[in-house]
Amino acid sequence: MSVIGSVDSLWRYPVKSMRGEQCSEFFVGFAGVYGDRLFALQSSAAPKGFPYLTGRNLNELLLYHPEFKHPLKAAKPGNLEEAERLAPGLNLSPAFADSEDLAMTVETPSGQTYAIDDPALIEVLEAQLKGKHSLTLVRSERSMTDCRPLSLFSIQTADQLSDEVGIKIDQRRFRANVYLDLKSNLGFQEDALVGKTVQVGPRAVVAILERDPRCAMITYDPDSAETNADVLRQVNQAHEGMAGVYAAVLVEGMVREGDEVTLLS
């Protein structure tokens, strides 16, 4: 075993394609990060294989700000301590909270605030889409990620892309869950972890499965939603369209900012 870095920051995205929130800690489970991509908006105009509204359809969606009404209850499963006291090897998945514990509001870019299930929020979004999409709110206890349950991205990769593109690239463009500070000055070192097993913090263990193929989402500035096509162009031309890695969770557990990241095998 060897320590290869640490956790720089942790992020989850309570509503798919809306603004993310930075967390000092969160629970990483088999189904993904607790509270991550908990809600999504299905669109009548989206392909059946990927039926969700995203920033690719409406850039401004990234500026909508979800917030849990009960942040302490939304941070981790309520029975986590009891679950972790079970004998080692009994990876009992902790109980998911009820709907009220995970209730949230959404603030629009204009400053209006709605409950996530308020039909008026749907009306606001459909008006922005000029009637081209009919939207339906969906909720899932499994994180509605595009691919794997967990995404990781090194801050060194963001720095290297900044140098390559010639602008400061905010790492939040890549909408990862775990941003890593690796013991290297070079970017894209997380690629070498594909096929390996990594422990993050004192308990969570993940298998790094594949590199993360990128799309137009990384062209949008997370604070303004303005587009810079050079970011995706550089990733496509210099890095085979990949940046960051996807992982599956082998052992559930809490992860915190500053936790050590250890290569197990």
pLDDT for residue 87: 57
The token pair that represents 215 in the structure block: 């799309």
Report which residue type is found at 121.
L
List, for the chain, all residue ranges whose pLDDT scores fall below the cut of 70.
87-93
- How far apart are the C-alpha atoms of 186 and 201, rounded to whole Å? 23
Neighbours of 167 (CB within 10 A): 12
- How far apart are the C-alpha atoms of 105 and 37, rounded to whole Å? 14
Neighbours of 160 (CB within 10 A): 21
Specify whether the CB–CB gap between 217 and 232 falls below 8 A.
no
Write the pLDDT tens digit of every residue in 138-188: 999 889 998 899 999 999 999 999 999 999 999 999 999 999 999 988 999
Q: What is the CA radius of gyration of the chain?
A: 18
pTM score, whole prediction? 0.93
The token pair that represents 93 in the structure block: 């998945």
- Token pair 């960051």 is found at 244
The token pair that represents 99 in the structure block: 């709907």
- How far apart are the C-alpha atoms of 227 and 59, rounded to whole Å? 9
Give kind and range of the element (H or E) at residue 145: none
**CATH node for 2-263:** 2.40.33.20
